[in-house]
Amino acid sequence: MPLLTGDDYRQSLRDGRQVWISGEKVEDVTTHPALKGMVDAVARIYDMHHDPLYADLMTFELPEGGRGARIYQIPTTREELSKRRLITAAILGDICPTMDRFGDETVTPLFVLANRKPLLDKYDPRYAQAATSWLHRLQRENLFLTSGNTDPKGDRSLHPYEQHDLDMNTRVVKETDAGIVIRGAKFETGAPYGHIAFIKPTVGAWVEENRDYAISCILPLNAPGVRHLCRAPLSRHGAEFDAFDQPLGARFDELDTLIVMDDVFIPWENVLFSRQPELAALLRSEFSRWSAQAYLARCQAKADLLVGAALLAAEQAGTIKLPPVRSRISQLMVFKATIDAYLLGAEAACETTEAGFIMPNQAIQNAGRVYCSMNYSPMVNLLRDIAGGTPVMLPDRAMLESPETAPDIEKYFRVGNHSAETRLRTLALLNDLTASPYAGRAQAYQMFAETPVHAQEAALFATFDRESAIARARAVAGLEAA
């Protein structure tokens, strides 16, 4: 079967899924104003797989013949690892540098499970078999995969098994010869326009008493018992934004959704593990082995956009020659170049896994992840500083076009050769990067969507070569002789 096209993808979403936005049931997710922008963006990714410009990069020859989606292939060489980065960069370049969720990142915990086959086999041979057969299916069918890790959780001071309502974290309520039945909910970006969700345990202490919560499986997003409760769209009531006034928000809204799973049956072939706290802990500890590469590639594109917006705004306002403004723009450039260094350095010093796969250097990549999660808001703040207050005091396109207001807008927003329209468009971009609801969500995404910073720091601590650092310090302190 050839890989899906954009139109095939749109058609595949008309599958009876249960989606609600602002209290109303969505009849067709491909045409709803709050979802259409993202459906069109994802459809473009599908079409890119058939576009001669990208097809060689984005697809590969399947062993059984035909082309498969390369992003779902585990890298076995450094070149294949680099291609993952290049695919992410190509999508961000072609569609929009602020796009966050597509399958490049969300598939990678399946790589982690496939890599640990001997360990999984000790628990149940069906687990690794499910992981590898899902990877093959994803390569063949290029399904859009979302990520369900984060539960509502309830009281954070209590374990899942101690909660007053036991469904605050997703759990197995029944196990049969045919499969498992799960109940609970997960927060997921993009679920209303995804095909399947990869359900996994959240960050936590995976003690034996949490056994019923230690599950991972593949969930079709139209399965009976699945309900999508979308967050409020950024654009009020899902009405479309004007691309002049919200150049980013008007493109798409990556709707974050609470997926409710009301006693959903999962057949064994979709179960990656069930009631295995040790495997939950393993998956969490190795979770970002490959996913953080895609995260850093996104951060790189976003940082580049912030630098570009700063240069444009300063050039138009005539502040570009002022040393303090150049200094702030240079600081933004430091952020961008540092992200480049983390991304490329982790690739250059790549590591071989237990099963012989190739993954980015873990300590470098984990340090980059912490750096990016902590520094997106400071980067945005620098841009805000460079731009001054005008981005939050802007008239909209209608004011520029109204015969009564246009002359004043033309007069007071023009600077030299830069027309009022040029300036308003640029300042609107700055508003969408620093001040709008779109900008606010983007900052929260950067801080949390790659797991909270404390979990990233723990991953860095675990993967950093501490022995070598301690040995160096011992030698310098003269402790070896003591």
398 C-beta neighbours (distance < 10 Å), count: 11
> In whole angstroms, what is the distance from residue 463 CA to residue 367 CA?
10
Q: What angle do CA 102, 108, 113 make, to 5 degrees?
A: 150
Closer by beta carbon to ligand FAD, 197 or else 310? 197
Q: Is 168 in the site for ligand FAD (CB under 6 A)?
A: no
Are 1 and 141 in contact by the 8 Å Cβ rule? The answer is: yes
Q: Which of 449, 459, 460, 463 binds ligand FAD (CB under 6 A)?
A: 449
| Nearest alpha-carbon partner for 450 in 265, 298, 273 | 298
Q: Which of 59, 115, 142, 149 binds ligand FAD (CB under 6 A)?
A: 149
Q: Which of 148, 192, 238, 368 binds ligand FAD (CB under 6 A)?
A: 148
| Nearest alpha-carbon partner for 124 in 214, 195, 36 | 214
Q: Is 452 in the site for ligand FAD (CB under 6 A)?
A: yes
Size of the site for ligand FAD (CB under 6 A): 19
Q: Which of 54, 111, 187, 438 binds ligand FAD (CB under 6 A)?
A: 187
Closer by beta carbon to ligand FAD, 132 or else 443? 443
Which residue type sits at 317? Answer: A
> In whole angstroms, what is the distance from residue 152 CA to residue 332 CA?
35
Structure tokens at 460: 């860095």
Q: Which of 276, 451, 456, 463 binds ligand FAD (CB under 6 A)?
A: 451
> In whole angstroms, what is the distance from residue 64 CA to residue 303 CA?
41
Segment contacting ligand FAD (CB under 6 A): 79-87, 124-132, 397-405, 437-445?
A: 437-445
The least CB distance from residue 50 to ligand FAD, in Å, is 27
| Nearest alpha-carbon partner for 438 in 309, 250, 312 | 250
How far, rounded to the nearest angstrom, does the alpha carbon of residue 479 sit from its chain's CA centroid? Answer: 46
Q: Is 189 in the site for ligand FAD (CB under 6 A)?
A: yes
How far, rounded to the nearest angstrom, does the alpha carbon of residue 323 sit from its chain's CA centroid? Answer: 36
Closer by beta carbon to ligand FAD, 202 or else 246? 202
Instruction: Build a one-symbol-per-residue string for 251-290: x at contacts with ligand FAD by CB under 6 A, - elsewhere.
Output: -----x----------------------------------
Q: What angle do CA 93, 99, 105 make, to 5 degrees?
A: 100
- Name the one residue in this structure whose structure tokens are 């002359």: 407
| CB environment 122-158: b (16+ within 10 A), e (fewer) | eebebbbbbbeebbeebbbbbbbbbbbbbbbbbeeee
The least CB distance from residue 194 to ligand FAD, in Å, is 10
Q: What share of the chain is helix, strand, coil (3-state, %, to 5)?
A: 55, 15, 30
Q: Is 32 in the site for ligand FAD (CB under 6 A)?
A: no
Q: Which of 59, 142, 150, 373 binds ligand FAD (CB under 6 A)?
A: 150
Q: Which of 104, 105, 167, 188 binds ligand FAD (CB under 6 A)?
A: 188
The least CB distance from residue 443 to ligand FAD, in Å, is 9
Q: Which of 36, 302, 336, 441 binds ligand FAD (CB under 6 A)?
A: 441
DSSP-derived 3-state class of residue 20? strand
Closer by beta carbon to ligand FAD, 448 or else 461? 448
- DSSP 8-state secondary structure symbol assigned to residue 200: -
Closer by beta carbon to ligand FAD, 337 or else 444? 444
Q: Which of 66, 448, 461, 472 binds ligand FAD (CB under 6 A)?
A: 448
Closer by beta carbon to ligand FAD, 266 or else 386? 266
- Name the one residue in this structure whose structure tokens are 């039945």: 181
Question: Count of alpha carbons within 13 Å of 112, Cβ hemisphere only?
Answer: 25
Q: Which of 63, 403, 454, 476 binds ligand FAD (CB under 6 A)?
A: 454
The least CB distance from residue 148 to ligand FAD, in Å, is 5
Q: Is 428 in the site for ligand FAD (CB under 6 A)?
A: no
The least CB distance from residue 204 to ligand FAD, in Å, is 8
Segment contacting ligand FAD (CB under 6 A): 180-188, 310-318, 346-354, 399-407?
A: 180-188
What are residue 321's phi and psi, to 5 degrees? -85, -10
The least CB distance from residue 326 to ligand FAD, in Å, is 33
Are 451 and 288 in contact by the 8 Å Cβ rule? The answer is: yes
Segment contacting ligand FAD (CB under 6 A): 110-118, 301-309, 371-379, 447-455?
A: 447-455
The least CB distance from residue 377 to ligand FAD, in Å, is 13
> In whole angstroms, what is the distance from residue 189 CA to residue 184 CA?
17
> In whole angstroms, what is the distance from residue 79 CA to residue 73 CA?
13
Which residues of this protein are in contact with ligand FAD, per CB under 6 A? 147-150, 153, 156, 186-189, 256, 441, 444-445, 448-449, 451-452, 454
